[in-house]
Structure 1
Amino acid sequence: MDVELVRLQPWADGDFWLLERLNSPEMTAHLGGPEGEAQLEARHRRYVGLGRGCMYRVESAGSGETVGSIGFWEREWRGETVWETGWGVLPEFQGRGLAARAARAIVDVARAAGGNRYLHAFPSVDHHASNSVCRKAGFTLLGEVEFEYPKGSWITSNDWRVDLQG
């Protein structure tokens, strides 16, 4: 079986084009829809300057092509500080297992970063592909939660978690 590997490259100034590609109606259907230009520019600045955690451009290790993004950052969740992760794979690269491989890689990176015991992902309950990524990447489903994303908008999400000390 030929498994396509991924490589994580820290988010850089020149990666704004990827954020624009990931901002399509198709890619943001489960995230409240596309953001405006000012919101995208602010997001890009956050990605470049992320203090605790890191955003990455995901590359196919074989071809070097950029296939998407993934990252992890700190958030407060149920009274404790945890890592949260999120990802996106460009449409032309979907269905190849790249997101699950990137998610397994981000688990390793978050584990090495230390500081927080748990890494969570909060895909919408209706986002079957992202929930499948969580399952394939070894996350444990804790159940449904009401989750605010984007700010001011509440969605029903699944709370998936990896114990980074386990």
Structure 2
Amino acid sequence: MDAASAETVRLVPWAEGDFWLLRRNNSPEMTEHLGGPETEEKLVARHRRYVDLATGGMFRVVLADGGESVGAIGFWEREWQGETVWETGWAVLPEFQGRGLAAGAARAVVETARAAGRNRYLHAFPKADHAASNGVCRRAGFTLVGQSRFEYPKGHWITSNDWRVDLGEVLEGPG
């Protein structure tokens, strides 16, 4: 789907009442590339981290027209190759996939991370064989840096693509 025909989305900060969306995203279908569903205890802990995230942000992705919730996206700090960077990840509910919503949400989170001004780079690390998520990165303007072995979830090693957006032009400001 091209950008002109894609539906537009907006990001709504993650709140206490968004646990239902996290639960929906925890299905076998939605976690196939993430090591499978998490336990209820881990979901509750993840929800708490999302609500309490100190740097970055987690968001519910909603349709700009009508406000229907279609997924989740966020960005947070991590250490990567000796520097602190932003990392992003997303999930779009199955009934809304294939409509350009994830790419729209990724573009919105790029702008949100850029506005945060804290780190120069935003990375995404989809599994190398996850065609849909790699396509989202490409359509959202990320640059493929290469492949990396990545531990996610803990104890589970995967080969991921390292996609990156340089936020530096805003961090550096006008010359």
TM-score range, shorter chain: over 0.9
Q: Match of 1:10? A: 13
Task: Look up the SS of the partner of 2:7 in the other structure.
Answer: coil
Alpha-carbon RMSD: 0.8
Task: Look up the SS of the partner of 2:57 in the other structure.
Answer: strand
Cα distance in 2 for partners of 1:128, 1:47 equals 26
Matches within 5 A, 1:77-116: 77-116=80-119
Q: Match of 1:67? A: 70
Structure 1 residues 105-152: Cα deviation after superposition (integer angstroms, max 9, x where no partner): 000000000110000000001110000000000000011100110112
Could you list the runs of 5+ residues in structure 1 that have no partner in the other structure? Answer: none
Q: Match of 2:172? A: none
Q: Match of 2:41? A: 38
Cα distance in 2 for partners of 1:154, 1:11 equals 29
Q: Match of 2:123? A: 120
Task: Look up the SS of the partner of 2:32 in the other structure.
Answer: coil
Matches within 5 A, 1:133-144: 133-144=136-147
Structure 1 residues 3-38: Cα deviation after superposition (integer angstroms, max 9, x where no partner): 411010000000000000000000000000000000
103-112 vs 145-154, which moves further: 145-154
Cα distance in 2 for partners of 1:113, 1:29 equals 31
Q: Report sequence identity in percent.
A: 74
Q: Match of 2:52? A: 49
Q: Match of 1:149? A: 152
Matched, 1:29 2:32: yes
Cα distance in 2 for partners of 1:77, 1:4 equals 33
Cα distance in 2 for partners of 1:70, 1:3 equals 17
Shift of 1:63: 2.1
* Aligned amino acid, residue 73 of structure 1: W
Q: How many residues align?
A: 166
Regions of 4+ moved over 3 Å: none
1:138 to 1:15, Cα distance in 2 relative to 1, 3 A:
same
Question: Is residue 79–residue 85 contact of structure 2 (8 Å, CA) maintained in 1?
Answer: yes
